[in-house]
Structure 1
Amino acid sequence: MSGAARVKILSADEVKAYIEPLVDILIDCVEGGAAVSFMLPIARHKAIDFWERAAQNVACGERVLLIADDLDGRVVGTVQLVTSFPENQPHRADVSKMLVRRDARRQGVAASLLAAVEEVAREAAKSVLVLDTETGSDAERLYERAGWQRVGEIPNCGFTPDGRPCGTTFFHKLLSPSDVATTTRLTSAS
């Protein structure tokens, strides 16, 4: 699906317009066992609140939200780039809430989202990216294949949606300063 998935950045208003499919993705992932901050049973209103807060953060310029849709226009994945950090970390961003519908996995959606969010980071002059994921998850292998470096693991850092303790593995990726500088110059010139 890597050629079939279309990735786009959403404005705050677009996030609001996409709340329902984003809620569906979040619920699908949590019900599938993804340790992404929510417990079972996940109430729809909690998922709606989460995405409404995300829209507010997008409007404030604190994060960028991307979605991937398939050829039929169905939203099948999402990821966020958190860009708001203290003034001594203007070059840093966190990749957050990489979510792909279970029926769209292993089709290149996550890889497309990851490549796109890295490009968004370059365009925002971010050279240090950080993320965390459930230890032992398929996502770990995705990040390693994409050149992310494992930093370490915290055992029992969180819980799976059904209440079992799970570890969290942290990764970072240094984007080439020349890539960031070139992208920034090209973006500034437009």
Structure 2
Amino acid sequence: MSSTAYVVDEVTAEELDRSAEELAGLLVETVNGGASVGFLASLEPGESSAWWRALIPDVAAGRLVVWTARAEAAGRLAGTVQLRPATTANGRRRGEVAKLMVHPADRGHRLAGRLLAALEERAARWGLRLLVLDTETGSPAERLYEATGWTRVGSVPDYAADPKGTLHPTTIFFKSLVR
């Protein structure tokens, strides 16, 4: 493991717009690497970039929070994660975690854990008491969530397709932020 330092920051709508091409590259790389993050292997960079840019209004309105991690020395994008707080009156105490991605070159540096920690700290400051997420059953992400204190609820068969279109079960997790 190298001594690469990373900076994890919450991004503004303007920063998201400026980073859309880099984030698109990370998303395409993640999907091509086989991760089930909601896209099929036919994902093109232009489509990926448009998807990121479509999130800008939600970030600007506070309906979505996005973090990025950058390799400090190079300023290169290394990872990202998202938090979408519930907007219904009966759900304003909870949020959904999505699109945790770490560039293959940056895996093994505990970067995913740092991204999650930043998200959890912000969620708690925001008054959220409960976070939920889903991930492909048996994936490395599933082991990460278990190792970082998330509680497994169960799995749903054939919930999502991997990038090749093959259906897989998905494990649902939650984490209470009440200390």
TM-score interval, smaller chain: over 0.9
Aligned residue pairs, count: 177
Equivalent residue for 2:108?
106
Q: How does 1:151-170 map to 2 (within 5 A)?
A: 151-170=153-172
Contact 2:4 2:71 in 1 (8 A): no
Counterpart Cα distance in 2 of 1:2 and 1:27? 26
Counterpart Cα distance in 2 of 1:2 and 1:113? 17
Equivalent residue for 1:56?
57
Equivalent residue for 2:78?
76
- TM-score using structure 2 length: 0.94
Structure 1 residues not aligned, in runs of 5+: 178-190
Question: What displacement does 1:49 show?
Answer: 1.8
Equivalent residue for 1:7?
8
Contact 1:31 1:161 in 2 (8 A): yes
- TM-score using structure 1 length: 0.89
User: In proportion to residue count, which structure has more helix?
Assistant: 1
Question: What displacement does 1:95 show?
Answer: 0.7
Structure 2 residues not aligned, in runs of 5+: none
Q: What is the percentage of aligned positions where both structures have the same residue? A: 39
**Which 4+ stretches in 1 moved above 6 angstroms?**
none
Q: CA RMSD in A?
A: 1.4
Counterpart Cα distance in 1 of 2:57 and 2:28? 20
Query: Which segment is superposed worse, 145-154 or 48-57?
Result: 48-57
Partner of 1:170: helix, strand, or coil? Answer: strand
